[in-house]
Structure 1
Amino acid sequence: MSTAALADARPHRLSDAALASLGAGRPDRATVVELKKSQLSRNLLLLHEIAAVVGPGPLTELAEAERANPTRVRELIARPLFGVWAAGCLRALQAGKNPEISHLSALARAARLPRQQPDKSQQPNKSLKATHNGQSITVRLDDSDPLRAHLGLRPAPPLDPAQHARWQRTFTEAWRLLVTSVPADAEVLAAVLDCVVPVLPDPAARGISATSADAFGAVAISEPADATALAVGLLHETQHSILNAVQYLFDLLEKPATLGYSPWRDDPRPASGILHGAYAYLTVTRFWRTQSTDPLAQTDPLAQFEFARWRAAVSDAAGKLRDLTPAGARFIEAMSAEVRPWLDEPVDPGVLRLAESANRDHYLRWRLRNRHVDPAGARELRRAWRAGEARPDVTSELRPAPKRALEASARLDLTHRFLRGDPLTGPRGEPLTGSDGDVAYVRGDVAAALRAYTDDGVGLILAGGFDVAPELAAVLSDEPDRLAILGWLS
């Protein structure tokens, strides 16, 4: 390929104001354009490095296509799945493997075709389009490109016409929600989002979605339950793409691999993942904020619950990030400044109780799963309790469970049912999910919850309001009088 694309390269720069606007989740159009240019530069550099290893031969066709239509070739090189292919190809070459290079020939063929004329060797192109209040969006619905499997989730088979129509209906309604609730975020989403890749659902999750650091503007997502789920999913994943692009230009964390607590996952996450979670939920929280204060939606307690829960999670996660670079400090401060005023906004007290409980429940279950007391400490706890002595200074250590885990909680499922006004118990009074203690706790009957939580240590800590590390309580779970133990551990 010719080097013209690299010869006229200029350094990519963002002003302090632009970096702060990105941190607040409010980039202007010029900032988004600069991020997109930087990602094109990245893909061109990957291609340049590939050519340096394999030689110019495999790029001959693409070079000819570039001379004929450089704008079209750059458009194709800027696409997310090209970034996935190029990064994977270079990694394979550097590992001494022989990756498939024929993708470059396919790219050259596509560059020679008029935009509206499909490549007969490929599945017909699909798209999703919507317009509301003068704001429009068009994205590719990619259900056939083999590279879509590299986004981290199992791709769904090609959609039939009925499935495509269902996606389009949900997308149209999701766009209406976004433009109505968060028009500025909708504008950013339309500028960044290039393609949606349908993936197979996960039976253990309500819905799954993912992005790749190599695929700026691509979202892999299972078919959403409704328009709100799609709107939130697209907001969330687009933020990941934006942050990936920012981190390509700036180091934000001095120690990105340091493990810690993430309010969005049941496994420990590196600092870079915690930052990603906080940043993705920033715009999600802004969406729920407008939903919860909309005069037409103010009776929806579920929107208030999501707003109250995630405003606290974003603020806490951002505030606990350490070892920031100067750019990272600026970015995190802008994020924190955006969410800080939201913490004082009124929420129905009953809803606020459930939101705060959900956050504490998640943290306690995370500790129980990932922090452990060593055998010597466990023996000392048992000895002191049985001897009637004061609680010894026993601590725990982070020892992550072996598998990645998304949040899963029967109490949270019951909370959602309660806020939607759905029944919590069946015809004979049996819980539809969770336990009798969970039903009592969600309803606010603390006394009944304490009686029912005989085998649920986290439930007892929550219902009793104890300030206890659950991994310490677990050491004494086989001892009688668990409430007295929790009081002793507090």
Structure 2
Amino acid sequence: MQPFELTGPALRGMGETRPVPGEAALLRAGLHSRRLVLLKTLLTRAGRVPLSDDAARALRRDWRLLEEAESHAPAAAREALGYPAVGNWLAHALAAGEGAGFERALEGLGAVAAVVATGAARAFRLTLPVREGLLTLPGLGAYATAAPLLHIEATSHTLILTPEGGEPTTLPHPHRPAAPEALAVPPGGQGGGGGWLPVRALPGARALLDDQDPHLGRDAGGIAGLRPATVTADEAHAWRELWTRALRLLGAADPERAAEVTGRVRAVVPVWWKPSGRASATRLAAPWAVLTTLPESAEEMAEVLVHEVQHSKLAVLGDMVRLYHEGGEAVFRVGWRADPRPLGAVLQGTYAHLALADLWDRLARRAGAGTEERVAAKARREKYREQVDDALSLLLDSGQLTAEGTEFVEGMRRHHARLCAPARRGPAPSPTS
């Protein structure tokens, strides 16, 4: 999927890593287009393979509900379909083998349709199978039950979840489907039936602290060595506090970047790495989700958020415009990795590290920073700036960039040159200047 045409100036502007006018709307449109293409690809595949009668009926039912909800409230549908966990489910379903595995993966369409219809404030009734004791509604929460089926009924005021043979749980229905918080059932919203595990909202943003995505590889080694983690109420409090402090720091140093983070991050996904280790990642199939271990400081959290937002931006843009031609083996070496990397990974890493150089430059210059803080921030800026300097040469000399990719990297080079200016590399201004 690459139906979008971007001009050279637009690509150069986006290459600078800074938020630019119109970029957010463009990326939303690109992600939505991608999700629709993948949904239609899944439907086409389902029509070409033999399905059981039950699976075929469920597919037709779920697709009708999805179409009806999208027709009634397109903005709400776009919001729901853009949630990162939906991308993870699509990747899982499209990779599933034929037969029972594919039919089981198709069951996820029912949960997605329920979420879209809920966000669109549509009344519906749906019965969905429960696997391994849990049914997840992406971006809403999960219902834990030993029952094999969960009955979902949405009215104009409530969402009622009833396990087969059990008592109902009544939740407040989202009344503002176009608002970012529309899909987040607030903590404490469960009714007398128990079993409901709502996702937790993060303050001051549209993002959720999501530890309920069933398609992140808990039983398959995780993602790049990271394994999803379930957080307790006390741990969730620590995440919320660190998130708030990081946004406050970003707001003081770089209000535009703070607005970019609060406007684009949809989910923070807690993960485990090695003991006492810290790491973060982005799944290209699920942009706007930040997978991370719990950082130790507001500065580290701010760095993680900025770093992973760049990966998401480039993941969406790369589906819209071809930036490079695929090469053969991974032969490029960069300053932030010991192993050789393919060009696509070099481009992703360079883009993220350029944003980090920019971030630490602004942290060094923020009002109120002490002398030691400024010195440390400048050192971080220089480390990232030097890494980007070498990587930009690799990209521009690779011969694999398309014309659009060259424009994009030229924008990166232009911003990197600003960070190399003597005024930025000299002594930092005093706190009172």
Say yes or no: TM over 0.5: yes
The one-letter amino acid of 1:139's match is A
What is the match of residue 305 of structure 1? 379
Instruction: Give me the whole-angstrom Cα distance separating, in 2, the residues matched to 1:10 and 1:249.
Output: 4
Instruction: Give me the whole-angstrom Cα distance separating, in 2, the residues matched to 1:140 and 1:204.
Output: 24
What is the match of residue 41 of structure 1? 33
Q: Residues 335, 10 of structure 1: CA spacing in aligned structure 2 closer, same or farther, 3 A cutoff?
A: closer
In the TM superposition, what whole-angstrom CA distance separates every residue of 1:432-471 from its partner, at most 9, and x where no partner exists? xxxxxxxxxxxxxxxxxxxxxxxxxxxxxxxxxxxxxxxx
The structural deviation recorded for 1:175 is 0.1
What is the match of residue 85 of structure 2? 81
1:175–1:231 contact (8 Å) kept in structure 2: yes
Q: Secondary structure at the match of 1:123?
A: strand
Q: Residues 10, 89 of structure 1: CA spacing in aligned structure 2 closer, same or farther, 3 A cutoff?
A: closer
Q: Residues 234, 148 of structure 1: CA spacing in aligned structure 2 closer, same or farther, 3 A cutoff?
A: same
Q: Alpha carbon RMSD of aligned pairs, Å?
A: 2.7
Q: Structure 1 regions of 5+ residues with no counterpart?
A: 1-8, 131-136, 352-490
Instruction: Give me the whole-angstrom Cα distance separating, in 1, the residues matched to 2:94 and 2:290.
Output: 22
Matched, 1:155 2:228: yes
**Pairing partner for 1:138 from 199, 206, 215:** 206
1:38–1:245 contact (8 Å) kept in structure 2: yes
Matched, 1:195 2:248: no
What is the match of residue 64 of structure 2? 63
Give the TM-score, by structure 1 length.
0.63
2:357–2:381 contact (8 Å) kept in structure 1: yes
2:2–2:321 contact (8 Å) kept in structure 1: no
2:3–2:320 contact (8 Å) kept in structure 1: no
The structural deviation recorded for 1:286 is 0.8
What is the match of residue 398 of structure 1? none
What is the match of residue 334 of structure 1? 411
The structural deviation recorded for 1:121 is 5.9
1:62–1:107 contact (8 Å) kept in structure 2: no
Instruction: Give me the whole-angstrom Cα distance separating, in 2, the residues matched to 1:167 and 1:265.
Output: 28
What is the match of residue 210 of structure 1? 281
The structural deviation recorded for 1:59 is 4.2
The one-letter amino acid of 1:124's match is P
Q: Structure 2 regions of 5+ residues with no counterpart?
A: 48-55, 119-158, 160-172, 175-183, 429-433
Q: Residues 289, 128 of structure 1: CA spacing in aligned structure 2 closer, same or farther, 3 A cutoff?
A: same
Matched, 1:243 2:244: no
Matched, 1:293 2:294: no
Which stretch has the larger CA shift, 296-305 or 41-50? 296-305
The structural deviation recorded for 1:95 is 10
Instruction: Give me the whole-angstrom Cα distance separating, in 2, the residues matched to 1:279 and 1:248.
Output: 16
What is the match of residue 393 of structure 2? 319
Instruction: Give me the whole-angstrom Cα distance separating, in 1, the residues matched to 2:98 and 2:254.
Output: 44
Q: Residues 290, 50 of structure 1: CA spacing in aligned structure 2 closer, same or farther, 3 A cutoff?
A: same
What is the match of residue 350 of structure 2? 278
Instruction: Give me the whole-angstrom Cα distance separating, in 2, the residues matched to 1:47 and 1:217.
Output: 19
Q: Secondary structure at the match of 1:220?
A: strand
Alignment of 1:23-42 (within 5 A): 23-42=15-34
Instruction: Give me the whole-angstrom Cα distance separating, in 1, the residues matched to 2:12 and 2:73.
Output: 34
Q: Secondary structure at the match of 2:295?
A: coil
Alignment length (residue pairs)? 334
Instruction: Give me the whole-angstrom Cα distance separating, in 2, the residues matched to 1:121 and 1:233.
Output: 33
Alignment of 1:349-364 (within 5 A): none
1:208–1:222 contact (8 Å) kept in structure 2: yes
What is the match of residue 228 of structure 1? 299
Higher relative contact order (CA 8 A, sep 6+): 2
1:253–1:272 contact (8 Å) kept in structure 2: yes
Q: Residues 307, 286 of structure 1: CA spacing in aligned structure 2 closer, same or farther, 3 A cutoff?
A: same
In the TM superposition, what whole-angstrom CA distance separates every residue of 1:151-183 from its partner, at most 9, and x where no partner exists? 7120112x2221111111111110011111122
Instruction: Give me the whole-angstrom Cα distance separating, in 1, the residues matched to 2:10 and 2:19.
Output: 7
The structural deviation recorded for 1:145 is 2.5
Instruction: Give me the whole-angstrom Cα distance separating, in 2, the residues matched to 1:263 and 1:101.
Output: 42
2:4–2:321 contact (8 Å) kept in structure 1: no
